[in-house]
Structure 1
């Protein structure tokens, strides 16, 4: 049986590292040609693009003109865009109870990349994605946007906006383009390891694993699998869905008391 994804083209924002890089590798294994977007991780993005025979494109997707340039680069290189993964994001750490810890500028900064940029990317890619019958978007949200927890109120609010936008755009872009989201919980990526060191990172993973029903600390590949599944035409009946990918941590009714609640 022919894989319907073979020959498709995907744009993955923040694709050079972490979850984005894991998605690119999984898609490439399915015969998808990938546009690896980056803002800062040039070396990693270019190495990954060479590994999967894709292209790396620098773009600050908080800027609408650069979103359009990124989509145009994908079309120039491959002649089509079918799939979009809005993975790029950022946070600011601030205790939820400290109402003085965040400024209006903090909210605007997080909203620009976590909510507005995905909208701009969808808008930039939508004309091309309508053309080939398998258009699909996956937004990388967070459990913070579902439960109001996470690294800060501003982060939770921005990811909550992304969750709501996923549903709004799934409605208006159907039937040509499906729009879904994944909402990861803790993901043990190199971001944590660089900041905590090897021992601290191992201790954090053990703590997080103990706090989930699946007794595991997710890694980037654990999030990439569900993302690629939602992009697959085999899930053509699924749109407007927000998939929690947190090793079952959301099943804990004492969520506010769960270890790692501020990650």
Structure 2
């Protein structure tokens, strides 16, 4: 399926996890891809190789989206194409403080660091990319598309920390504001995943604890599954393709029904 052939996509935080899966699936459907990483250079090159194997032209850029110059460097990488059709704001961070009642678990700097990447970084990326996103619209008559990776945490107030949940709630409202403001040239949507079995979780626990977490998620979701990055990326591609050409300002929970809870037996 090459429905995205000729399009240029920028995926932040795409060396590993969900971002990598999104980038590879974009490449498999014909898009050229800009891969972004902040520290994981080896993983970024691996992701780039997989995209090239799929036939994509690929540029790899090290940049921190919390930094205005970093965002501009990412957008400048799309300069040779003269346009940007797709922006996936996927980069994100957290601080693990799962006891939300422990108000000493987070500092002011924790909040600011998380907001700087999860909220401000997404805004700065759009700020830097706006001209090229609009250029794609002018060339094709087709709205460019922006997808923000949010979280069930921003809808339910749960997750790794209060600061993380609050940042994703802010990202959700920003998605709505910008979807209205940037239409018709740019569509802006967000996905709100629940659990994703990536190193985001794995790095905080040993293998036994991770397996126990997987079983717990399967038991807690109506669909009885623990999602992996490819599962969520499939939904991301809906928003990044023409299948959602009449959709903007949507926040979609992609959590195997976790937000519903299990039915009582």
**Normalized against structure 1, the TM-score is what?**
0.92
Q: Distance in 2 between matches of 1:221 and 1:4?
A: 19
Q: Which shows bigger deviation, 196-205 or 215-224?
A: 196-205
Shift of 1:193: 3.0
**Aligned position for 2:55:** none
Q: Distance in 1 between matches of 2:51 and 2:105?
A: 42
Contact persistence 2:222–2:262 (CA under 8 A)? no
Q: Which aligned pairs between 1:101-120 and structure 2 lie closer than 5 A?
A: 101-120=105-124
**Aligned position for 1:259:** none
Shift of 1:27: 0.5
**Aligned position for 2:188:** 179
**Aligned position for 2:65:** 61
Aligned positions, number:
252
Q: Distance in 2 between matches of 1:124 and 1:114?
A: 16
The one of 212, 215, 220 equivalent to 2:229 is: 220
Shift of 1:99: 1.2
Q: Distance in 2 between matches of 1:199 and 1:93?
A: 19
**Aligned position for 2:129:** 125
1:44 partnered with 2:43: yes
Shift of 1:199: 3.0
User: Cα deviation per residue 1:212-236 (whole Å; 9 max; x = unaligned)?
Assistant: 0000000001110111100112211
User: Cα deviation per residue 1:188-225 (whole Å; 9 max; x = unaligned)?
Assistant: 11333344343332221111111000000000011101
**Aligned position for 1:91:** 94
Q: Distance in 2 between matches of 1:120 and 1:140?
A: 15
Q: Distance in 2 between matches of 1:5 and 1:180?
A: 18
Contact persistence 2:82–2:135 (CA under 8 A)? no
**Aligned position for 1:243:** 252
Contact persistence 2:3–2:30 (CA under 8 A)? no
Gaps of 5+ in 1: 255-263
Contact persistence 2:12–2:37 (CA under 8 A)? yes
**Aligned position for 1:31:** 30
Gaps of 5+ in 2: 53-57, 137-141
1:142 partnered with 2:151: yes
Cα–Cα, structure 1 residues 173 and 61, in superposed 2: closer, same or farther, change >3 Å? Answer: same
The one of 212, 215, 220 equivalent to 1:206 is: 215
Q: Distance in 2 between matches of 1:47 and 1:226?
A: 23
Q: Distance in 1 between matches of 2:213 and 2:93?
A: 20
Q: Distance in 2 between matches of 1:121 and 1:202?
A: 36
**Normalized against structure 2, the TM-score is what?**
0.91
Shift of 1:124: 0.8
Q: Distance in 1 between matches of 2:185 and 2:155?
A: 27
Q: Which aligned pairs between 1:190-201 and structure 2 lie closer than 5 A?
A: 190-201=199-210
